[in-house]
Amino acid sequence: MKNLIISLSVASMILTGSCGINETADLVILNGKIYTVDETNPSAEAIAIKGEKIIFAGTSNEAKKMIKEGTTKVIDANGRLVLPGFNDAHVHFGPLDPDYIELRYTTDPTVFTEKVKAQVAKSKPGQLIRGGHWEHEMFTDRNWPGKDLIDKVSPDNPVILTRADGHSVLVNSYILKASGITKTTVAPFGGEIQKDPVSGEPTGIIKENAMDLIKTGEVAAEFTEKEKEEKIWQGYLLAFKEARELGVTSIQIPGWGDFDAYKKLQAEGHLTSRIDIGEPLTGDTVRLKKYLETAKQYPADGDWIRFGYLKAFIDGTIGSGTALMYEPFTDNPKTSGLSMMPYEEFENMVVVADKLGFQIGVHSIGDQGNNWTLNAYEKAQQINGERDSRHRNEHAQTIAPGDIPRFAQLGVIASMQPTHCISDKKFVIKRIGEDRAKGAYAWKSLADAGARIAFGSDYQVEPLNPMEGLYASVTRKDRLGEEGDGWYPEQKISMADAIKYYTTGAAYAQFMEERKGMIKKGYLADIVITDKDLFSIPENEIMRTKVDYTIVGGKVVYSSGNK
């Protein structure tokens, strides 16, 4: 019996990583309610960190042995919830523009007029005015806005106001004239120019590939190169400030990002989130080989700035009525949406890039769009052979029942953004009907079928705050709250799973699950401490939960008491 007790004690020390505790930690967190997301050691009350790595997760008494007065920084969590840092698997991150007109949650379209008028008053004639994040389904009449809203207050300035999904824009007549867009202009493949059904004149709404026709005709503002660089630099600093205050310690950028800018931010000590930067998917082998050179500069075994995946679009969105569906939209039977390119061209791009070893992520919203993406990945496996590619389906929003098991079968990651559900549910059934809506935002069905899931925000389409994503995934209710069990409640998941998809699930999507996304010995010390216990509070408190501490690589980059 004595030998058995000794063996059990040793086993316990191994599980908690407490063997040989005589090392001095740089940072120790005590008295926390720690959800580690590590199945071998799911909970703890203390963490010890040395350098960028976690060296212990276990009891406070054991962690105290690693504290050296005058050397070790100590944080008393005082019973607060401690989690791995949030890893946003799909975020359009970059410098913020303080002059951007914010239209999120606008319910009265006359606000467009007021805000554009105010910005025009601060701008020079010919200077481009940008804004966006509007959602016409939030308007009282739910009608698309038109150029008449802004023409009268912007006769001498180009104006582009982008819909929340980024797949449609409202432009004024200044832009239409500069672009040569008239009643006779034919939209390119995969695009739409909305026209008045009576006059045939453009309404000012331009969708998808037709946005490539836009020419602003802007007159460059009289800024020196130094002033422009300073504005962009300040924009980056604002973006990282927002991220760390929300506990976002890792960011995966689809498509495009400025490697040099992030390298400079890191050199000057301003990189407070880890960054993966992708590039656009292409079938051009010359361009793909250039990507390979960039990937060597920012390799997969790095921890801070890494080359990400290649991003493609196969369709549009449900909100803009451009998602690629098998059957016509319920509220607009004239269209089944848009594909961004012919399937054969898309498939060839996927096969070529896969052969060179790239990870690929495809924006897929409609049921047919999702099917095409899965088909292309399957074709790549058939031609190039199976490998641990971890190709991604970005959004995976509306899926036909027969395609749900294929995610696990093909090893395709469902990279999903939970807040799309609670933003879109107000119009989804109107757009696609109840039968198809059952396969929308179906993260529980995907998980039950064995799919790997990574959560993110799709910022700036949606807010960056992970708390909104957690709320959406466990309630499927409106942000203002509502009675009942939520929208298609069978798709709700537990808070533990929601956090897992936002941490280790997102890390798996970037091939980093062996060193990030858990509170575990040897893992990167990316940690958040929240002011509320997400596991026990009422659902209406989830989005009100704040981050008290954000720790990245063992360094406190944000604390609520020291803003």
Give, for 425, the enclosing helix (H) or strand (E). Answer: helix 419-437
Q: Is 537 left (phi over 0), alpha (psi -120 to 50) or beta?
A: beta
Helix, strand, coil percent values for the chain (each to nearest 5):
35, 20, 45
Q: In this structure, which amino acid lies at residue 256?
A: W
Rounded Cα–Cα distance for residues 222 and 455 (Å) = 42
Strands 101-102 and 46-50 turn out to be unpaired
pLDDT < 70 stretches in the chain: 1-21, 220-223, 563
pLDDT of residue 228: 81
Q: E strand or H helix at 54, and its extent? A: strand 53-58
DSSP per position, 24-47: PPSEEEES-EEE---TTS-EESEE
Strands 547-552 and 527-530: antiparallel
What is the amino acid identity at position 540? N
Per CATH, is 101-213 categorized as 3.10.310.70? yes
Q: How far apart are CA 87 and CA 250, in angstroms?
A: 4
The overall pTM is greater than 0.75: yes
Both tokens of 513, joined, read: 């699950």
In angstroms, the CA 274 to CA 251 distance is 6
The token pair that represents 323 in the structure block: 């998602």
The pLDDT assigned to 18 comes to 45
Q: What pLDDT, on the 0 to 100 scale, is given for residue 563?
A: 53
pLDDT of residue 2: 36
pLDDT for res 17: 44
Looking at CATH, the fold of the domain delimited by 229-514 is given as TIM Barrel (3.20.20)
Task: Tell me the C-alpha distance between 119 and 130, whole Å.
Answer: 9
What DSSP element (H or E) covers 132? strand 129-134
Residue with tokens 């070790």: 72
Query: Where in the chain are the domains?
Result: 101-213, 229-514
- Say if 101-213 and 229-514 have the same CATH topology: no
Q: Is 367 left (phi over 0), alpha (psi -120 to 50) or beta?
A: alpha
In degrees and rounded to multiples of 5, residue 222 shows phi and psi of -85, 75
The pLDDT value recorded for residue 296 is 97
Nearest CA-CA partner of 89 in 364, 294, 393: 393
Q: What is the bridge-based pairing of β-strands 129-134 and 547-552?
A: unpaired
Supply the pLDDT for residue 140. 86
